[in-house]
């Protein structure tokens, strides 16, 4: 009887593995193809509008078109993509309307092509999840299998948009819950992510890779600097999340129809572009690339212009990156996504991370490209609560040499950002400190945080000492 049970168990597991190898491969092919189509259209539209100097004058119209598309064709397509997929998995039994796919594609292309500050990963994740949900419904899979397929869609979308199959796979299983991963979806997520990446690349999508040639020799002092950088990037994550929430609430308080708010938001961005520059519009890939390591050695020249006004420029590849670039990008992205624009948040996070890393390196006298690369992934870890995916991404994009430093910064940033997230529908399953009281098992937007120092902790002793000396 014992042998029969063992044979039966192994047979079931064999067929289960075979089933998910097949299904996740199919999802990877579908999502990789859809992502390649989306990215090609997006790249063409950006190339076309670059011929015009004042393309951003169309922002009010672009936001209006985006709002109308979402309002009348697919309300689920509102927001920044990945958040809506997380919400669908937790609240809607992983059911996603198929209309989300074309609507999200069109709304995002219109937004970004006209200068809206948003990313391309959210739409790819939502498109991938929407196609996976439709696939599950067509073949009448149960809710458990549909959930796994939708998670595969997230992983495949993320992997194909950034060319990071392993990070994409981990992102899909890490982003749903803060503090745990879904190990039962790990194999199909890996397969769908790798397949999607290979399909998109075969269809002509080219991915940027940055080799971090300069990595300092390990020392205790440098390790401390990496930890301090992680704290700084965690603070940058907090600023981004809270600014996004601030503008989302501000938009809700404005008593206008969504159409009018979209036009208002577009005009605000046009005005801000005149005040700052068009560097903070669109994806911002040029600025991100200018901060990151290159295959060849780069000479850096720092020119302090207008010292009294505090304007510091870093001349990288001939482009000027102002010291406040990450804060300006936060402002532009918050307005875009709060007033009707469509797109993701991860590409802006990369901009924020790379430029804040540049600033940190300049202020501390460290290598600019090394800390821009670390910031690139560390702000993602803090904002999205995905330290493992962010650490793996560092290895895939920048090489294995920088991975240990980036991983430390990612984990520190993750803890430093606290119990908040750029994805409010994430479910919290971890206290980031035993001296904080939070309601576990709730979504991030429902979390109540209360300090609860332990009796013998250092924090409690400091509080008691201050109380006695008042």
Tokens encoding 197 = 């990446």
Other Cβ atoms closer than 10 A to 320 = 17
Tokens encoding 231 = 């704290």
Distance CA 176, CA 425 (A): 8
Q: Say what the pLDDT of residue 8 is.
A: 78
CATH of 220-416 given 2.30.30.180, 1.20.120.1770, 1.10.3080.10, 3.40.50.1700: 1.10.3080.10
Q: Residue ranges per domain, the chain?
A: 2-202, 220-416, 431-468
CA 1 to chain centre: 51
- Torsion angle, CA of 405/410/413/417, rounded to 10 degrees? 180
pLDDT in tens, the chain (470 residues): 556 566 678 888 889 999 999 999 999 999 999 999 999 999 999 999 888 889 999 999 999 999 999 999 988 877 777 888 998 999 888 899 899 889 999 999 999 999 999 998 888 888 999 999 999 999 999 999 999 999 999 999 999 999 999 999 999 999 999 988 888 999 999 999 999 999 999 999 988 766 666 555 667 788 899 999 999 999 999 999 999 999 999 999 998 999 999 999 999 999 999 999 999 999 999 899 888 876 433 323 222 333 322 233 344 333 478 999 999 999 999 999 999 999 999 999 999 999 999 999 999 998 898 999 999 999 999 999 999 999 999 999 988 888 889 999 999 999 999 999 999 999 999 999 888 888 888 998 888 888 877 666 665 666 666 666 66
b/e per residue 71-83 (b: at least 16 CB within 10 A): beebebbbbbbbb
Query: Which residue is it, tokens 């029969």?
Result: 4
Question: Do 220-416 and 2-202 have the same topology in CATH?
Answer: yes
As a 3-state breakdown, the chain gives helix, strand, coil percent values, each rounded to 5, of: 70, 5, 25
CATH of 2-202 given 1.10.150.20, 1.10.3080.10, 1.20.58.100, 3.40.50.1450: 1.10.3080.10
Q: Say what the pLDDT of residue 461 is.
A: 64
Phi, psi of 145 (to 5 degrees): -70, -35
Tokens encoding 359 = 């600033």
Which of 138, 137, 121 is CA-nearest to residue 172?
121
Please list the alpha-helical segments (H only) found in 276-311. 285-291
What size, in residues, is the chain?
A: 470
Tokens encoding 16 = 């289960």
Q: C-alpha angle with apex 124: 83 to 283, nearest 5 degrees?
A: 90
């Amino acid at each position: 009887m014992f042998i029969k049970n063992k044979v039966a168990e192994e047979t079931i597991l064999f067929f289960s593995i075979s089933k998910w190898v097949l299904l996740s491969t199919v999802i990877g092919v579908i999502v990789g193809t859809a992502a390649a189509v989306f990215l090609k259209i997006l790249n063409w539209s950006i190339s076309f509008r670059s011929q015009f100097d004042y393309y951003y004058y169309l922002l009010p119209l672009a936001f209006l078109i985006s709002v109308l598309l979402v309002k009348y064709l697919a309300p689920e397509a509102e927001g920044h993509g990945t958040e809506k997929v997380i919400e669908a998995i937790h609240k809607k039994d992983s059911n996603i309307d198929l209309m989300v796919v074309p609507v999200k594609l069109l709304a995002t292309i219109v937004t970004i092509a006209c200068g809206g500050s948003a990313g391309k990963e959210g739409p790819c994740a939502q498109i991938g999840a929407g196609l996976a949900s439709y696939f599950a419904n067509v073949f009448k899979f149960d809710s458990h299998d549909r959930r796994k397929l939708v998670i595969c869609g997230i992983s495949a979308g993320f992997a194909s948009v950034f060319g990071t199959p392993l990070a994409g796979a981990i992102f899909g299983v890490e982003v749903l819950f803060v503090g745990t991963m879904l190990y039962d979806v790990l194999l199909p997520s890996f397969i769908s992510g790798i397949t999607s990446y290979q399909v998109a690349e075969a269809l002509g999508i080219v991915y940027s890779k940055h080799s971090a040639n300069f990595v300092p020799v390990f020392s205790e002092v440098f390790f401390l600097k990496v930890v301090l950088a992680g704290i700084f990037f965690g603070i940058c994550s907090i600023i981004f999340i809270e600014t996004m929430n601030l503008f989302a609430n501000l938009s809700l308080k404005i008593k206008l129809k969504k159409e009018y708010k979209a036009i208002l938001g577009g005009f605000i961005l046009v005005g801000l572009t005149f005040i700052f520059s068009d560097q903070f519009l669109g994806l911002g890939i040029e600025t991100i690339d200018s901060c990151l390591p290159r295959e060849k050695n780069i000479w850096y020249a720092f020119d302090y212009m207008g010292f009294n006004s505090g304007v510091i420029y870093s001349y990288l590849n001939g482009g000027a990156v102002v010291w406040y670039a990450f804060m300006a990008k936060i402002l532009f992205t918050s307005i875009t996504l709060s007033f009707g624009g469509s797109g993701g948040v991860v590409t802006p996070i990369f901009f924020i991370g790379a430029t804040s890393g540049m600033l940190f390196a300049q202020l501390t006298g460290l290598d600019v490209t090394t800390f821009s690369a670390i910031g690139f992934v560390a702000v993602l870890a803090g904002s999205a609560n995905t330290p493992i995916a962010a650490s793996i991404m560092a290895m895939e994009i920048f090489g294995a040499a920088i991975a240990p430093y980036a991983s430390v910064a990612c984990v520190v940033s993750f803890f430093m950002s606290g119990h908040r997230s750029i994805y409010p529908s994430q479910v919290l399953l971890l206290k980031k400190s035993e001296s904080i009281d939070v309601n576990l098992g709730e979504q991030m937007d429902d979390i109540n945080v209360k300090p609860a120092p332990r009796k013998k902790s250092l924090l409690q002793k400091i509080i008691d000492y201050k109380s006695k000396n008042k």
